[in-house]
A = this chain, B = another copy of it.
Amino acid sequence: MNSFQLNLKTLLDRSARYFPDNEMISREPDGSLFRYNYSQYYKRVQKLANVLKLLGIKKGDKIASFAWNNHRHLELYFGIPCYGAILHTVNIRYGAKEIAYSISHAEDAIVFLDKDLVPIMESIAHQLPKVKAYIVLDYTVPETSLSPVYSYEQLLSSTHSTYCFEEVDENLPASMCYTSATTGLPKGVVYSHRSIYLHASALCFRDVMGISEHDHILPIVPMFHVCAWGIPYAAIATGAKLILPGTRPKAEDLLQLIDSEKVTFSAGAVTLGIDMLTILEEKKYNISSLRQLMLGGQAVPKALIDEYFKKYGVPVVQGFGATETSPIVTFLHIRRDQLRVSDDEKNEIRSRQGMLLPGLEMKVVDELGKEVPWDDEHMGEILVRGPWIASEYYNDNRSNSSFVDGWWKSGDIATINKEGSIRIVDRDKDVIKSGGEWISSVQLENELMAHPDVLEACVVAVNHEKWLERPVACILLKNNQTGTTNVEEALIEWLTPKFPKWWLPDQFMFVEEIPKNANGKYNKNLLREIANQSSSITS
């Protein structure tokens, strides 16, 4: 039809023209709220482009951000890609090794960073010979060993507020983000103008998030984490009011923002959702403006969904996605034929990861690559492809094992029900493959931890001659109890009505501590080794 390109400039341009006075709000480090509007935002984005030009940045250069969710970070979100450069949002929660690796591997030319994060950057700057400048996102630069170093606000104030953005080819990179790997260093994923545009569009569908100019949107999910799930792009495409929670926001800060700014849509980690509920028990905040609270990072317990809905009338929703998928692949959809079910049944629907977005293709397949039946029992790995799904890792020879025949192999194991809604039950490497059937370690763990005597439970596979793999449960009991045959029998009795007989663990290992990774998750690799040794000794 024509060669008009799908890029970020068109989206920003329209919002700034049609909604110049619509507000954007950013929580400052001192807790005060900075307020400006789309018109002022766009002017500063243009100033930023002039700064990039002054600094000698070329089209295709990579520029790192190392920052919290604030308005200056949001300026980088559009200013850098519209200029034709690539925004690399560096995860501020990474260890020094991963931060240095991702900045070096991406070959970032400049690092924009928040003032309070300067010390972290100082500790690794010697490993970053290719970084040409550090720009502190503030009016002043603190005492620092970083060099050369500039103040963002001083640079901006030195330039003018018009810049004629050129048309960027839609297939050119706009941003990139690294994802932690199970083993080894992080892997980079590159997003194009086109993929961001199409993903943001899908978030605006009434059947997905329904992001609208009417919304007041609070992205709690970090802007260094998969573009804050793409929400800032969709918000700006529509002209929505954006509220950015700033530096180290605590649950109570978020509740204050929801209440005072009448937030209609927010998205963040399940743990923060739990923290907010705890505070709501003690203090009064009005969160009734929320039409949806999206929680993610892990499956949302049904009890949490129920509590938000029953006590505060807030629907908690979730989806499925990853760094490789921009990220939204599936999202809650209450189907037309489910509109009249009870609130409790709706919450049950909300406790799943939802339905495939229009525009994508997904299949849940067994080990032979055959799609599993939609019976919510058979498990399979989720495979996805589509216009906002990556097809490779950036300059990384680990691409071949994850991207096969145009599909991204998620490594996530799910069941799918007859309505087409998925439920994530495990990770591929953790699911127990017993005699051709799969056992979900996560579901066993959840039920074990529901037992009154169990503090923590971690289920892993041990090798088995006949069944290939069988489950072993590592258990940490409450109150320093020690494991006995009686306890084992009680746990088997506890699990029996809940699972098929062949799911029940063959063995229990009572431990004093369950080994964990740096990020607090069970170290299942180590546990598998221990369990296999112990199993081969005892058998």
A19-B335, A207-B212, A214-B339 known; 9 new pairs, CB 8 Å cut-off, are A1-B388, A2-B391, A4-B386, A14-B359, A14-B360, A204-B206, A213-B333, A213-B336, A237-B358
On whether the beta carbons of B13 and A195 are closer than 8 Å, the reply is no
Interface string of A384-415 (1 = CB under 8 A from B): 01111111000000000000001000000000
- Is A531 an interface residue, CB under 8 A from the partner? no
Bound complex: CA of A402 vs CA of B204, how far in Å? Answer: 32
* A11 at the B interface (CB under 8 A): yes
> Given known contacts A205-B201, A211-B206, is B358 in contact with A1 (CB within 8 Å)?
no
Cβ-based interface call for A420 (8 A): yes
Q: Which of B3, B15, B333, B359 sits near A11, CB closer than 8 Å?
A: B359
Which parts of A197-215 form the interface with B (CB within 8 Å)? 197-198, 201-202, 204-207, 210-214
Which residues of chain B have C-beta atoms less than 8 A from A6's C-beta?
198, 359, 387
Given contacts A1-B387, A386-B10, contact A18 B420 (CB under 8 A): yes
- Residue contact B210 to A206, C-beta cutoff 8 Å: yes
- Residues in B with CB closer than 8 Å to A19 are 335
- B420 touching A17, Cβ below 8 Å: yes
Q: Which residues of B contact A197 (CB under 8 A)?
A: 359
Give every chain B residue within 8 A of A213 (Cβ-Cβ).
207, 333, 335-336
- A359 and B206 in contact, given A1-B171, A1-B192, A190-B1 (Cβ under 8 angstroms): no
B336 contacts A13, CB within 8 Å? Answer: no
Please, which residues of chain B bring their CB within 8 A of the CB of A4?
Answer: 385-387, 389, 406
Closest 9 CB pairs of A and B: A2-B391, A206-B210, A1-B195, A18-B420, A206-B206, A1-B192, A206-B212, A204-B205, A4-B387
**Known pairs A202-B201, A210-B206; A14 contacts B194 (CB<8 A):** no
Complex formed: what's the CA distance from A214 to B214 in Å? 21
Chain B residues whose C-beta falls within 8 Å of the C-beta of A42 in the assembled complex: none
- Most B C-beta atoms less than 10 A away, residue of A13, A192, A212, A360: A212
- The residue in A205, A241, A361, A387 that gathers the most chain B C-beta atoms within 10 A of its C-beta is A205
A431 interface residue per 8 A CB criterion:
no
Alpha-carbon gap, A18 to B18, bound state (A): 37
In the complex, chain B residues whose CB is within 8 Å of the CB of A388? 1
| Chain B hits for A82, CB < 8 A | none
Q: Any chain B CB within 8 A of the CB of A238?
A: yes
